[in-house]
Amino acid sequence: MRLNTDRSRIVYDKLNFIFPLNADLDKLGLIPSVKPFDDGICRLLSILSKALLNNPESKKYSDIAAFAFWCRKGNIELMKKERVLDLRLGRGVVLHIAPSNVPVNFAYSMVAGLLAGNINIIRLPTKSFEQVNIICDTLISVLEMEEFEKYRDFVTLVKYDKDDEINQYLSSICDVRIIWGGDNTIWELRKVPLKPRAFDITFADRYSISVIDSEKYRMEENPKKVAQDFYNDTYLFDQNACTSPHFIVWVGQERTIGDAKEMFWSELYKIVKSQYKLQPVQAVDKLATFYTAAANMDIIEAEMPDNLIIRAKLNKLSEGIEEYRCQGGYFYEYSAESLEEIIPIINQKYQTLSYYGFDKQVFKSFIGSGLKGFDRIVPIGKTLDFSLYWDGYDLISTLSRIIDIL
């Protein structure tokens, strides 16, 4: 039964319940958690994966296909084998505050909560995305199968506008609050108290870059493939994803860098011109961003056929470059003789380092230099691939608790 309080009645009236329609949030804290990678949860996700991959509507969206492929049975089994799960249980109720500008993010967050053994309340993006509708409809159809009756209370899907009363209520009943969003969103939600043993996991606004070995790229037999991978990392979410690169570092000698740049930007421009539509407001924003950055950093604009791509060449590295970013195909670039040159500007804002042409061993010594930033180092083309290790968190360990027996 719902708590008979004025606050709960007001909150329920404001919430738009997507699933279940008759949700009783007050009882969620009474539901026992399960062990991480519970067999029933794993099967549920496997069925969801198959349903999405077989859905003709899903095939229109590469991000849905990527999510469905990620939560397939084989991948879940692989992730399970990587872990020691004895004596662990989910922490309880997890509240997920999904970002408004990346449609499929909510689904990855939810799956992490489920795999860790938790009951999940997911605030869906308020902005309308067809991907959200497709995933939610498919998920609901799977949860309504008889074999998954036990797990229906493990997923509550809601929508609501920014509202202090709702945030206070939902925060009061959760054991973990996951906040995806800009820094301002995190600051505002942190003002809302949690239960004494509850805590926040925050995924703040981050900045990502790419590094390219110019000699390796100049010798690449399929430079278009590398450019296409970079396009996927960057343009599929219009550079809104924290993983999307905004800054490219070219490593090598001046002559090889010049040749590599000419090849890369030529290939990328052809892809952008054929696959991407630049909105007029984006064109204006990119020019405004460049002028603002030029007033504060030593940069020049590299020549391109038009403003589908804007390249701002850094003559010297500047701290705070992450503050001057823009969407829609706006990039800074810098030429370096070695990776170590960029270490002084790397701070905790830097999330993903994507690379081409480097051996992994190079990054082990790079990390050993005492980096203040970067939580992910992945090949170009893989920045959007979700992992249960995210922003420096081991999500399964963090979202579950270990019970010590002596």
Backbone angles phi, psi at 283, to 5 degrees: -60, -45
Angle between helices 73-81 and 39-53 (to 10 degrees): 140
Contacts of 370 (CB under 8 A, 6+ apart): 343
**DSSP for 316-354, written as a single string:** S--TTGGGS--SSSEEEEEEESSGGGGGGG--TTEEEEE
Helix (H) or strand (E) holding 130: helix 130-143
Nearest-angstrom CA–CA distance, 302 and 40: 55
**Structure confidence at residue 3 (pLDDT):** 45
- pLDDT per residue of the chain (406 residues) written in tens, 0 to 9: 344 456 677 788 899 999 999 889 999 999 999 999 999 999 999 999 999 999 999 989 989 999 999 999 999 999 999 888 888 999 999 999 998 888 999 999 999 999 999 999 999 998 899 999 999 999 999 999 999 999 999 999 999 998 999 999 999 999 999 999 888 899 999 999 999 999 999 999 999 999 999 999 999 999 999 999 999 999 988 998 899 999 999 999 999 999 999 999 999 999 999 999 999 999 999 999 999 999 999 999 999 999 999 999 999 998 899 999 999 999 999 999 999 999 999 999 999 999 999 998 899 889 887 788 999 999 999 999 999 999 999 999 999 999 999 8
Phi and psi at residue 322, in whole multiples of 5°? -65, -15
From CA 159, how far away is CA 145, in angstroms rounded? 24
Helix spans in 155-298 (H): 164-173, 183-190, 214-218, 223-235, 254-275, 280-294
Tell me how crowded residue 200 is: count the other CB atoms within 10 A of its CB. Answer: 17
> What confidence score (pLDDT) does residue 5 get?
57
**393-394 vs 389-390, strand pairing mode:** antiparallel
In a 13 Å sphere around the CA of 278, the CA atoms on its Cβ side amount to 21
**pLDDT for residue 172:** 95
Look up residue 283 and give its two tokens: 């064109």
What is the Cα 212 distance to its own chain's centre? 22
Structure-token pair, residue 280:
């007029």
Q: So what's the pLDDT on residue 4?
A: 43
CA 138 centroid distance within chain = 21
Residue 141 pLDDT: 97
